[in-house]
Amino acid sequence: MPDLITLLKARVKNDADTDYLGYKVCPKCESTDLNNNPFVDADYEAGDGGELVASPIIIPMVTCESCGWSKRIDEHDLLD
């Protein structure tokens, strides 16, 4: 049976290594001018008084400065 702690550490290390979601060049124009800008979304929940309270969700996203290509990790990928 695999050591769960070892698996967890490997997973964390992999995540840290994919600052650009694993992309080294733009798949569309092959530029290396990639930008690592997180996409900030908001999650809304009802507060105590019934008002909507927003909490930020930060989604890793990489964009190409040359052609505008972008790729973000969807929420279901984060939960994977």
Query: Where does residue 48 rank: exposed (0-12), middle (13-18), buried (19+ CB within 10 A)?
Result: exposed
> Quick one: which segment of 7-15, 20-28, 37-45, 52-60 binds Zn ion (CB under 5 A)?
20-28
69 touching Zn ion, by CB under 5 A: yes
Q: Does 64 bind Zn ion (CB under 5 A)?
A: yes
Contact status: 34 vs Zn ion (CB under 5 A): no
CA atoms of 24 and 31, how far apart (whole Å): 9
* Residue 23 touching Zn ion (CB under 5 A): no
Which residues, in sequence order, are bridge partners of residue 72? 61
Considering the rule CB under 5 A, would residue 26 count as an interface residue with Zn ion?
Answer: yes
CA angle 59, 64, 65 (to 5 degrees): 120
Query: Segment near Zn ion (CB under 5 A), from 17-25, 43-51, 53-61, 64-72?
Result: 64-72
